Amino acid sequence: MRKILIMLVITGALAIGIGSGQQKDRTEVDLQAAIRMETVEGDLKGAIEQYKKIAAQPGAARATVATALLRMGKCHEKLGNAEARTAYERLVREFGDQAEVAAEARTRLAALAGAGGASGSSTLAVRRVWAGADVTGKVSPDGRFLSFTDWGSGGNVAIRDLATGESRRLTNTGSLTGPGGFAEPSVPSPDSKSVAYAWVNSSNGSADLCVVGLDGSKPRVLRAAGDGVRGHIPLAWSPDSRHLLAEFEKTDGTRDMMLVAVADGSTKLLKAMGKDRSPGGVFSPDGRYIAWATKEGLSLVELQTGTESPLIQDRSKHSVLGWAPDGKHILFSSERSGSADAWLVAVTDGKAQGEPIFIKKDWGFLPMGVTRSGAFYYGVNNNVWEVQIAEIDLSSGNVVSAPLPASQRGNTQAPDWSPDGRFLAFILLREPNRTVVVRSMDTGEERELQVGERTMRGPLRWTGDGKAVVVAASEAGKGENLLRIDVQTGQVTSLMPLPAGFTRFEFSPDGNTIFYLKAAAPADVNGSRIVARDLRSGQETVVIEKRGLYAGVVSPDGQRLLIATWDGKSQVLLVMPATGGEAREVVRLEGGFPGSPSWTPDGRSVAFLKAVKGKDGQWELWRAAAEGGEPQRIGLIAARQLQGVRLHPDGRRVAITDVKVNLEVWVMENFLPPLKVAK
C-alpha cells in the first residue's frame, strides 16, 4: 500500500510538472501569435485581447506575462487609450523582477505622466535597449530582434532577441585572424525570414553580398566581388522581401546604387554616384519609392519609372533615417542647425507637404531602422579616442612612465612627431568636421588647423622639412585628396588625388617622395602594393606587390622600408630596400600588429605592438633588431591600441592612440503624429 501511495504521489507530481511545462509552452506560442497580430497584421485591438488572455493565464511564465503587459500597454498607447497606464502599472507592481521589461514600463509611465495621458501625444520618449552593443546591423521590421556582427566569434552574422536579450549566430565561418572573413553590415528582411549581409574576405578586403536564413540555414553568395566591383553593401530590403537596395563599390573608386533580385542575384542600375558619398536609401512601405540623400538635400526615386525627384532642397548634410509605417512621413537627419538632428517631413504622392518638423537634437550616429510600430532604432557612439605619450628606455627594454594623455582635449587620434621632435600633431574628432591640432612639447600651447567642410581621416604625417602636416580628406562632389596644411599659415593645398584603394602613406626624409599603400582589388592576383610617388614629377613606381601587405614605413635614412604583412597564418615584419628588391623577414608571430610598426631613431631596430595572450584587446610594445634576432618585450600594456606606435626622434618617448569602445543601441518613440483609428 505504501508503495502504491508513493507511486501515486510521484505520478501526480510528474503530471503537474508536465502540465506546467505545457502551459508555459502554450502561453509562449500564444504570445508570439499576438505579437504577429500586432506587428504584421496591424490588428492592435485583436492583439490587446490576446495579451489580456495571456496576462490572465494562471501558471504562465513571469517573463511571458511581463512581455504581454508591456506590448499591451504599447498597443493601448497607439490607440490613444488610457488603459496603457493600467498595463504598465501592473507590470511594474507585480513583475519588478523582470528588470529590462519593468524598466521600459517605467520609462513609458514617465512619458505618459509628461503627456498627461496615453500616447499619440507629443511627448518624445527615448530609451537605451542595448549597452556594449554592436551597431553593424538593423532592427527587424517587427521589432523583435537586431542583426549584428558577433566579433567575439570571429565576425559572424548574429541576431539579438530584444525581448530576452539572448543572441544567436547565423553563420560560423567568421575569422578575424585567419584566412576566412567577417560580416559587416547586415539587414533583416521584412518577412523576418532572412538576413542580408556583406562578407568581407580576409585575403583581399573585397566584400560579397550574401543572404542567410533566420535559422542559420542556406547561407549563399548573392553577388560575389569581381568584374570591376570590389565590395557590396546591403542597405535595405523591398517591402515584399524580393529585392535589395545595395551600394556597389567599384575598383576605380566610384559607386553605383543597384537593385538586386534576391532570387537570382540579377541587378538593375538605379544611379551611378561617381565618387560621391553613399546616399543610403530606404524603401517606402508600399514599395513605390526609395528615399535617399543627395548633395542638394533629399530625393525620392520612383521605382516603376526610375525617375528621381527632389523632396527637400537643402545643401546641408542629410541622411534618410526611415519611413513612417503608414508611408506618410519620412524621418531624416539634417545638419541645417549645425549638428546632426532628427527631422520629420510629411509626404503625399512623392511630394513634401509643408516644412520639416524638428524632432530631436543630436539623434545619434547610425540609423538602424523604423519598425512597423513606429519606433526608430539607432546607434550611439560613446567611443573615446585618446592620444597618449609614454616614456621608455629602449636600451634596457623598460617603460619609464606609463602612458598619459597628450592633451586635455577629448577624442584625439593619429599622432605624429615633427622631425625635430618639438611638436606633436594629431586629429581632433570634433563634429561636424575634424580638426588638426599642433601641440608644442616645450610650452604645451596648442593650435588648431581647419580644413573647411572636408572630412579628414588618419594617418597624419609631417613633411620632411617640418613646415606642414599631411592628411587624407574627402569633400562632397570632389572625391578624396591628400592635403598639405601649412602649420604657420594654415593654408591648405592638394598634393594628389587619392587613387582607389589608398590607405596609408609615409614621406621620405627629404620630403620629395610619398610611399603609399594601395589595397588589392579583387582582380589583383598579386595582392596589395606599395607605390613610390615622386612629388616633383608625379612619376610613380611600384616598390613591392604582395598578398597580405598592410603597412610600409620608411627608415630614418630613407634607404629601407619596414613592411608589415599577413601570410594567412602569421603576422610578418619584413625589411627591404626603399627602391625595391628582396624583402627579408625580421619578425614572425601569431596575433596582429594593430596599425603600423615604427623604426627606432637610429634605424637599427623596429618597434611594434603585440597582442597579449589571453587578454582580448590588450597590447604590449616590443622591439626587434632590424637585422633579425629574438624580439624584446618593453611593456606598455594598454587597451585596444589600433593605430600603431610613433617613436619620438629622441627614442625615449612614444605616442600611441587608445580607444575605449562604448557603443549603444537606443530607440526613439512617440515622434510620429497620432494614429487615426476609424470609429
Tens of pLDDT, residue by residue over 422-464, are: 999 999 987 655 789 999 999 999 999 988 777 777 789 999 8
Q: For residue 284, what pLDDT band results from cuts at 50, 70 and 90?
A: very high
pLDDT of res. 116: 39
The SS3 call for residue 397 is coil
SS (HEC) of 301-354: EECCCCEEEEEEECCCCEEEEEECCCCCEEEEEECCCCCCEEEEEEEECCEEEE
pLDDT in tens, 191-203: 999 999 999 987 6
pLDDT in tens, 395-416: 888 888 888 999 988 789 899 9
pLDDT of res. 99: 82
Q: Where in the chain is the domain with CATH 2.120.10.30?
A: 135-278, 279-381, 384-663
| Maximum separation of any 2 CA atoms in the chain, in Å | 106
pLDDT in tens, 304-332: 999 999 998 877 778 999 999 999 999 99
Least confident of 142-156, 239-253, 292-306, 559-573: 559-573
Q: Are 300 and 308 in contact (CB under 8 A)?
A: yes
Give me the numbers of helices (H) and strands (E) for the chain, helices first please. 5, 47
The answer on pLDDT for 232 being more than 60 is yes
pLDDT of res. 615: 65
pLDDT in tens, 152-172: 888 999 999 988 888 999 999
CB under 8 Å, gap of 24 or more: what pairs does 222-226 form?
Answer: 222/196, 222/260, 222/262, 222/265, 223/260, 223/265, 223/267, 225/201, 225/522, 226/522, 226/523
State the average pLDDT for the chain.
84
Identify which of 8-12, 35-39, 320-324 has the greatest average pLDDT: 320-324
Q: For residue 70, what pLDDT band results from cuts at 50, 70 and 90?
A: very high
Exposure string over 284-320, b if 16+ CB within 10 A, otherwise e = bbebbbbbbbbeebbbbbebeeeebeebbeeeebbbb
Distances (CA, A) of 488 to 69, 421, 445, 446, 448: 65, 17, 14, 13, 11
Q: For residue 675, what pLDDT band results from cuts at 50, 70 and 90?
A: low
Q: For residue 523, what pLDDT band results from cuts at 50, 70 and 90?
A: very low
The answer on pLDDT for 14 being more than 60 is no
The SS3 call for residue 255 is strand
Selected residue with higher pLDDT from 417 and 89: 417
Q: Does domain 135-278 have CATH number 2.120.10.30?
A: yes
Q: How many CB atoms lie within 10 A of CB 252?
A: 13
65-81 mean pLDDT: 86
- CATH topology for the 279-381 domain: Neuraminidase (2.120.10)
Q: Where in the chain is the domain with CATH 1.25.40?
A: 2-115
221: β partners: 210
Selected residue with higher pLDDT from 501 and 45: 45
511-522 mean pLDDT: 81
pLDDT of res. 542: 93
Q: How far apart are CA 267 and CA 248, in angstroms?
A: 11
Task: Give the position of cell 498595463.
Answer: 87
344-371 mean pLDDT: 90
pLDDT of res. 5: 28
Q: How far apart are CA 100 and CA 94, in angstroms?
A: 14
Percent of all residues in the chain with a pLDDT value above 90, rounded to a whole number? 45
The answer on pLDDT for 101 being more than 80 is yes
Supply the DSSP symbol for 612.
Answer: P
pLDDT of res. 21: 41
pLDDT in tens, 581-640: 999 999 887 765 566 789 999 999 998 888 777 665 677 888 899 998 888 888 876 655
Q: Are 391 and 656 in contact (CB under 8 A)?
A: no
pLDDT of res. 81: 76
Q: How far apart are CA 598 and CA 267, in angstroms?
A: 45
The answer on pLDDT for 17 being more than 60 is no
pLDDT of res. 180: 75
Selected residue with higher pLDDT from 316 and 255: 255
Q: How far apart are CA 580 and CA 128, in angstroms?
A: 54
Task: Give the position of cell 618585450.
Answer: 633
Q: For residue 188, what pLDDT band results from cuts at 50, 70 and 90?
A: very high
pLDDT in tens, 112-154: 665 433 334 457 888 888 988 889 999 999 999 999 999 888 8
pLDDT of res. 605: 92
For domain 384-663, the CATH class is mainly beta
Q: How many CB atoms lie within 10 A of CB 464?
A: 17
- CATH topology for the 2-115 domain: 1.25.40
pLDDT of res. 520: 65
Selected residue with higher pLDDT from 258 and 478: 258
Q: How far apart are CA 642 and CA 455, in angstroms?
A: 20
pLDDT of res. 544: 92
10-19 mean pLDDT: 29
pLDDT of res. 23: 43
Task: Give the position of cell 508555459.
Answer: 24
Percent of all residues in the chain with a pLDDT value above 70, rounded to a whole number? 87
646-663 mean pLDDT: 88
pLDDT of res. 337: 73
